Amino acid sequence: MHDNYADRIHALRNWMNNMAMDALIIPHADEFLGEYTPTHNKRLHWVTGFTGSDGIAVITRENAVIFVDGRYTVQVRKQVPAEMFEYRHLIEDPILQWLLDTLPDSSKVAIDPKLHSINWLADAEKAVADKLLLRYINDNPIDMLWNNRPAPLVTDAILIGIDVAGQSSKNKRVNIGKSIINADVSYLSQLDSICWLLNIRGGDVSHLPVLLSHALIDTEGNVNLFLDPARIPKNFDEHVGTGVTVLLPEVLESSLAALSSKTVLVDPLTSNAWVSQVLHQIGANIVHAPDPCMLPKATKNATEIAGFKACHIRDGIAVSRFLAWLDTQVTDGNLPNEAELSDMLYLFRTLDETFTDLSFDTISAASGNAAICHYNHLHQPDPSKLELNNVYLVDSGGQYRDGTTDITRTIAIGECSNEVKTAFTLVLKGHIALSTARFPRGTCGSQLDSLARQHLWAYGFDYDHGTGHGVGHFLSVHEGPQRITKAPNTVALLPGMVLSNEPGYYRANAFGIRIENLELVVEVPTSGDMTMMGFESLTRVPIDRRLVDTALLIDREITWWNDYHLSVWQDISPSLQPSDAEWLKQATAPLAR
């Protein structure tokens, strides 16, 4: 396989020589700039073998380098051949600085503007000004060299009724149109925004129920949807109401060119630079502002919240049945491998008729593999078996017709060391601290992030990933604009937002720990005169009590544990068979010192 990568790098260098280029930048993204890239657009994987959800490579005449963030520093070394690629940290060793340090002045760097955001390219131009020359290419060389490239997955649009969405598309479009300020029309590139706006879903991207499409919406709420009309159901017009025109994707460029006299709102973070270049060339006035659908989509309405709560109970039933099965296997002396475990969890989820897909590839990681944050057994030569007296980490989620789930549990396989239990309990304390936080309106996720890390920090520990991401309603499991991270974020948390709460700790080649629930932002009554907010846990699955060192917990943390597990028992037990209910009874029993 490594020979294939050598041949591909050689072919790209031949292209660079023919085009008089000195470097080629290859991002993970495709033209939609989403986290999940369809198989036929995984250019970074084709060149490097890397399967993570974020990364970027550079090929020069002498070097090949791949840049990844802290989630993938272990994974990249397992997947990308070291004899061909240097490994760099995306944050600590930024790609543009590396280019400046490596290439001679006036070197030409080839960039496909469809694969980079407007902001990224603008920053790149400033960073390399007077040093390097960025050259925009219309035809991506990987597309020309990729033999046996997979065909795009094309699915029909699925209509989502008001009973699930809680609001008609017509109503959404009118409201979004009114919110467009200082512009005539807004270009929409985020696939989940388009599907949310039109109350449709699809299956063009694995685990993401969307359609590969573009859209334009004007201030009256009229929408041009760029999607093959053959993929639209017959009752679509009645479903969305008047004001939606479906056009072939091939006419997107000419439709953008027709906006020469208009002011067009474009999100510089989520829209690709090619769109901006087309609009600039035809003389349109471009206004940079966030996608107008993003915040309304993130603040769930009452119907969506009800769907979230209902699907989390059904998901909790499936995961709890899996965990009961797992404990039985270990007790009987069976140690399944990561693939068998992942498949069994998937099977339990499929027993629910509203389940449509996973919400991401299941992270099924035994012992040392759990230290790889985004580990995927499917990308390993052989999946590992469970290891006695160590942990098993499973991070998984489901797409249901009424919501999206994402849950991580770390499970004791046998008797774990005190070292593991201490680390687990510190992670648990951080999880509880965030789950019980109270904060005033206007608080951003970055202001809460340290709550989840404080107990780990006290021991000199930390984790190199965010603490929380937004979650869509039967849409993307990673949804903006809200998040909980160390990085500054100006988006205030609002009632109706759903975020993950997932602190962790990872020791390379030894073990990994993460505890993740989804949380709903809610208003919390207090005795004061301020409007305060907090979180309501949506996830309904027990946390492994065998890994808890109760000596490290204080009373209010034990109270949280007992209250949470009581809610798990009350919501899940009525739907379980007697043997599984007996397991759950033990798993949710009150914790005492």
User: Parallel, antiparallel, or unpaired: how do β-strands 23-27 and 504-507 relate?
Assistant: unpaired
Main-chain dihedrals φ then ψ at residue 162, nearest 5 degrees: -65, -25
Q: With both helix axes pointing from N to C terminus, report the angle between 95-102 and 118-128 in degrees, rounded to the nearest 10.
A: 30
- This prediction's pTM: 0.93
Joined together, the tokens standing for residue 345 give 């969890």
Cα–Cα distance measured from residue 262 to residue 490, given in angstroms and rounded to the nearest whole number = 30
Residue found by looking up tokens 């980490």 in the block: 393
Cα–Cα distance measured from residue 403 to residue 62, given in angstroms and rounded to the nearest whole number = 48
Size of the chain, expressed as the number of residues it contains: 593
Q: What's residue 247's pLDDT?
A: 98
Of residues 283, 292, 285, the one with CA closest to residue 263: 285
Q: What's residue 3's pLDDT?
A: 65
Of residues 338, 324, 378, the one with CA closest to residue 512: 338
Of residues 273, 269, 292, the one with CA closest to residue 281: 273
Q: What's residue 1's pLDDT?
A: 47
Side chain identity at 58, as an amino acid letter? V
Cα–Cα distance measured from residue 298 to residue 313, given in angstroms and rounded to the nearest whole number = 21
Q: What's residue 36's pLDDT?
A: 87
Q: Spell out, as residue ranges, where the chain has pLDDT lower than 70.
A: 1-3
Of residues 493, 435, 484, the one with CA closest to residue 463: 484
User: Model confidence over 238-262: pLDDT tens digits?
Assistant: 999 999 999 999 999 999 999 999 9
Cα–Cα distance measured from residue 245 to residue 248, given in angstroms and rounded to the nearest whole number = 10
Of residues 81, 99, 71, the one with CA closest to residue 5: 81
Q: What's residue 373's pLDDT?
A: 83
Side chain identity at 192, as an amino acid letter? D
Structural domains in the chain plus CATH codes:
2-145 (3.40.350.10), 158-294 (3.40.350.10), 299-587 (3.90.230.10)
